[in-house]
Amino acid sequence: MHLCVDMQRLFAELTDWHTPWMTQILPAVRRITEEHVNRTIFTRFIPAERPGEGHGLWKKYYERWPTMTVEQLGPEMLELVPDLAAFVPPAFVVDKHVYSPWLGDGLQQQLKALEAETLIVTGGETDLCVLATVLGAVDYGYRVIVVTDALCSSSDTTHDSILRLYSTRFGQQVETATTEELLLVWPNPVQDKV
């Protein structure tokens, strides 16, 4: 399965959480999605409705980032970027309120139903939501392939550090590949094409 993390307007557009690389990786993410649309799941990060809401330290988090609440952003900013939103359906979406998509039952249930054993991970940010997604997948025992040219972050330093972490500390559990390398070994069944 292709698990695409948080490729949403609130990160792509000029907000306080703008991730400039997102536009650079979008063609690679789109290409993987297009080739395997029936095997794609998008996650969406859903912030608190208004400042001061949230469980535990998330309340303080949204006091720090009041402009990034649904009330301030508007619900349309939670949507996937238009280039990817067009693939839903048949691709589907799992919403989450924290970095990890594994805390709710939705993602794991979907993957079990689809008999997934390998997760191809793309999206952003490398050092936050992607990291939480990858570590959860490792804990569940999935084979994880991180597509290095289809990841983005707002920090070059931590992006590079996390990629090194995958190949050193998680070398037995996390593989890395470029989009080209991935698509060479993950053939496109005709029925998956849009």
Q: Which domains does the chain have, with CATH numbers?
A: 2-185 (3.40.50.850)
Nearest to 131 by CA among 150, 146, 110: 146
> What's the confidence (pLDDT) of residue 194?
47
> What's the confidence (pLDDT) of residue 172?
86
* pLDDT per residue rounded down to tens, the chain (194 residues): 999 999 999 999 999 999 999 999 999 999 999 999 999 999 999 999 999 898 899 999 999 999 999 999 999 999 999 999 999 999 999 999 999 999 987 899 999 999 999 999 999 999 999 999 999 999 999 999 999 999 999 989 999 999 999 888 888 899 999 999 999 998 776 545 54
Question: What span, in angstroms and rounded, lies between the C-alpha atoms of 136 and 101?
Answer: 8
The half-sphere exposure of 183 on its side-chain side, counting CA atoms within 13 A, is: 15
User: Could you identify the residue written with the tokens 């949403």?
Assistant: 8
ω into 35 cis (within 30 of 0): no
User: Could you identify the residue written with the tokens 């040219």?
Assistant: 149
pTM of the model: 0.93
Cα 138 vs. chain centroid, distance in angstroms?
A: 15
> What's the confidence (pLDDT) of residue 190?
58
Please report, as a single letter, which amino acid is at residue 106: G
Contact assessment for residue 192 and residue 186, using Cβ atoms and an 8 Å cutoff: no
> What's the confidence (pLDDT) of residue 187?
77
Decide: helix, strand or coil at residue 161. helix
Question: What span, in angstroms and rounded, lies between the C-alpha atoms of 40 and 148?
Answer: 17
End-to-end CA gap in the chain: 16
